[in-house]
Amino acid sequence: MPHGIPTETSGGTTGQPKLLQANGLSKSYGENKVVDHVTFSLDCGEVIALVGENGAGKSTLMNMLAGVVSPDEGEIILAGRPVSLSSPHAAQSAGIGMVFQELSLVGNLSVKENLFAGRAPTRFGLIDGGKLRRKAQGLLQALGVAIDPDALVSDLPMSSRQIVEIAKAVSLDTRLLLLDEPTSALNADEKAMLFRLISELKAKGVGIVYISHHLNEVLELADRIVVLRDGRVVSIAPRAQVTIRSLVRDMVGRAISLNETAQAPPSGRSILEVDRVSGGGGVTDVSLRVEEGEIVGIAGLVGSGRTELARMIVGLSAPKAGSVKVAGQTVRGGGMAAAKRSGIAYVPPERKTEGLFLDLPVAANIAAATLEQSMVAGFLRDRHVERRARHQIDRLGIKARSPGVACRSLSGGNQQKVLLAKWLETRPRLLVVDEPTKGVDVAAKADIHSALRQLAASGAGILMVSSDLPEILSTAHRVLVMHKGRVVANLACAETTEQEIIAHASGLPDSSAAT
User: In this structure, is residue 6 part of a structural domain?
Assistant: yes
Number of domains the chain contains = 4
Cα–Cα dist 189/455, whole Å: 33
Q: Could you list the pLDDT tens digit for every one of the 515 residues in the chain?
A: 334 445 454 444 456 789 999 999 999 988 889 999 999 999 999 999 999 887 789 989 999 999 999 999 999 999 999 999 999 989 989 999 988 766 778 888 999 999 998 888 888 888 888 999 999 999 888 877 789 999 999 888 777 887 888 888 888 888 999 998 888 767 677 778 788 888 888 988 999 999 988 888 899 999 999 999 989 999 999 999 999 889 988 988 876 655 555 556 787 899 999 999 999 889 999 999 999 999 999 999 878 999 999 999 999 998 999 999 999 999 877 788 888 999 999 999 888 888 899 999 999 999 998 877 776 766 777 888 899 999 999 999 998 889 999 999 888 889 999 999 999 999 999 999 999 998 788 888 889 999 999 999 999 999 999 988 889 999 999 999 999 999 999 999 999 998 899 889 988 855 444 34
> How many residues does this entry show for the chain?
515
| Residue 366 and residue 245 in one domain | no
| Residue 190 and residue 328 in one domain | no
Last residue of a domain, one of 399, 426, 453: 426
507 Cβ contact list (under 8 Å, min separation 6): 483, 484, 488
Phi, psi (degrees; rounded to nearest 5) at 487: -80, 120
Last residue of a domain, one of 252, 281, 315: 252
CATH number at residue 319: 3.40.50.300
Half-sphere exposure at residue 86, Cβ-oriented, CA atoms within 13 angstroms: 1
CB 228 within 8 A of CB 50: yes
User: In this structure, is residue 372 part of a structural domain?
Assistant: yes
| Residue 162 and residue 303 in one domain | no
For the chain, helix (H) and strand (E) counts, in that order, are: 16, 24
| Residue 119 and residue 267 in one domain | no
User: Which domain covers residue 131, as residue numbers?
Assistant: 106-172
| Residue 78 and residue 16 in one domain | yes
User: In this structure, is residue 69 part of a structural domain?
Assistant: yes
| Residue 391 and residue 485 in one domain | no
| Residue 90 and residue 178 in one domain | yes
| Residue 58 and residue 86 in one domain | yes
User: In this structure, is residue 348 part of a structural domain?
Assistant: no
* DSSP-based three-state secondary structure for 421: helix
Q: Would you say the pTM of this structure is higher than 0.75?
A: no
| Residue 305 and residue 436 in one domain | yes
| Residue 219 and residue 76 in one domain | yes
| Residue 138 and residue 243 in one domain | no
Last residue of a domain, one of 153, 172, 191: 172
User: In this structure, is residue 379 part of a structural domain?
Assistant: yes
| Residue 383 and residue 456 in one domain | no
